[in-house]
Copies of this chain bind each other. A is one copy, B any other.
Amino acid sequence: MKQTRNTAAKTEILKLINHSPVALSHAEIQSALNGLCDRVTIYRVLERLITEDEVHKVVNLEGVVKYASCHSCSSEEKHIHTHNHAHFSCEKCKEVTCMEDIEPSFKVPKNYQVHEMNFTLSGICPNCR
């Protein structure tokens, strides 16, 4: 298992994501960092944060990849957390919000092996009405 290090870039990016009420895209993170590190480094840090289960990836309805922390899961249970909650993608402001309370029920044909689910609702968020 590869050792992982704490760097300024990683610390700042994680702080950003943890403090944001909505999921952030690479571009949004980059402009918020204000030149702290290279574009490529952001990609690599995000990748690392995901494998370390610090953040999770969400894709909005346009296919834009966003990153969010899981506010609800304590650090002890992070390694078992599957991030299988719903997300809301606003058509107006394009913001993506985790809705950790919504757990949809469904059934699949038994020949499909389900590992993860991505349940994204879209419409208008409370701020945009």
CB pair B106–A129 under 8 Å, yes or no, is no
Do A104 and B116 touch (CB < 8 A)? no
- Rounded to whole Å, the gap between the CB of A90 and the closest CB of chain B is 9
Q: Give the complex CA separation of A17 and B109 in angstroms.
A: 23
Stretch of A1-9, A43-51, A56-64 lying at the B interface: A56-64
Query: Which residues of the partner chain B approach A117 to less than 8 Å between Cβ atoms?
Result: 119-122
Complex contact A99–B108 (CB within 8 A): yes
Given contacts A88-B112, A104-B105, A112-B121, 15 further A-B contacts (CB under 8 A): A59-B60, A88-B108, A104-B104, A104-B106, A105-B105, A112-B123, A113-B125, A113-B129, A114-B122, A114-B123, A115-B122, A115-B124, A116-B121, A117-B120, A117-B121
A118 interface residue per 8 A CB criterion: yes
Known: A64-B63, A106-B102. A118 touches B112 (CB 8 A): no
Does A116 lie within 8 Å of B59, measured CB to CB? no
**A65 cross-chain contacts in B, Cβ below 8 A:** 62-63
- Bitwise interface map of A from 74 to 109 toward B, beta carbon under 8 Å scored 1, else 0: 000000000000101001000000010011111111
